[in-house]
Copies of this chain bind each other. A is one copy, B any other.
Amino acid sequence: MWAGVNILGVTSAKSSYHHGDLRNALVQAGADLAEQGGPAAVTIRAAARAVGVTPTAAYRHFTDHAALLDAVCDLAMARLTSSMTRYLRTVTTGDDAGETAVRRLEATGRGYVSFAIAEPGLFRTAFSKATVPEPSAGTEHPFALLMKALDELVAAGSLSADDRPLAEFGAWSAVHGLAVLLVEGPLRGLRRRERDAVIQKVLDMVKHGIAGTPQAR
């Protein structure tokens, strides 16, 4: 990945004719653009400009514009995943396995929505990949984290095995819809207090609707 120039930690890539790590630099620049203006802002010309390189140079590393955008989408999705794992790590394992499992399910949702609010442009970009990703792809994927949380719920006895199939789509739909409505939908512009109350209500609905947890108030 490091092709020599920056091997000494020297950042004077400018002085060199060869960049050394242009592909990554372009993807990073693309992510910055996506952060500001969403997927539509990710253009070959803008990314090359940000890196300080000619648009043509990008074609050494990407076959076309779609290839760059796809790479940026993957990065955005990875950031979403790491937001979820960050929230999952804050969940302490309590005495009650069922309660712990429910808290872990809730954490996946909070990590998802928090990322959407903190990085709306990247969130939108994460879901604009041209090719449809296989939902079951990789353990380090939002969907995989959700599946695991639901399986834990079954293992803890808080969700009947009969109700387990397809439950992932209920949780995912609710949390994804919440994020979309808050970030780019009619619920953008909600004040923090209202927003937090809405988030809590939606998560309660998911817990109640999936696992039969009594509704909090």
- Chain A residues at the B interface, C-beta cutoff of 8 Å: 40, 127, 132-133, 135, 143, 162-163, 166-167, 169-181, 184-189, 197-198, 201-202, 204-210, 212, 215, 217
A212 to B217: give the CA distance in the assembly, Å.
14
A205 touches B197 (CB 8 A): no
Q: Chain B residues with Cβ under 8 A from A186's Cβ?
A: 127, 132-133, 135, 143
Q: Chain B residues with Cβ under 8 A from A174's Cβ?
A: 170, 173-174, 177, 202, 205
B166 touches A198 (CB 8 A): yes
A167 touches B201 (CB 8 A): yes
Instruction: Name the distance in Å between A211's Cβ and chain B's nearest Cβ.
Output: 10
Q: Chain B residues with Cβ under 8 A from A217's Cβ?
A: 162-163
Give me 20 other A-B pairs in contact (C-beta within 8 A), A143-B186, A169-B187, A208-B209 excluded.
A132-B188, A135-B186, A162-B217, A163-B215, A166-B197, A166-B198, A167-B201, A169-B181, A169-B198, A169-B202, A170-B174, A171-B205, A173-B173, A173-B175, A177-B178, A177-B179, A205-B209, A206-B209, A209-B209, A209-B210
> Would you list the 6 A-B pairs with minimal beta carbon distance, nearest first?
A177-B177, A209-B209, A170-B205, A205-B209, A176-B177, A173-B177
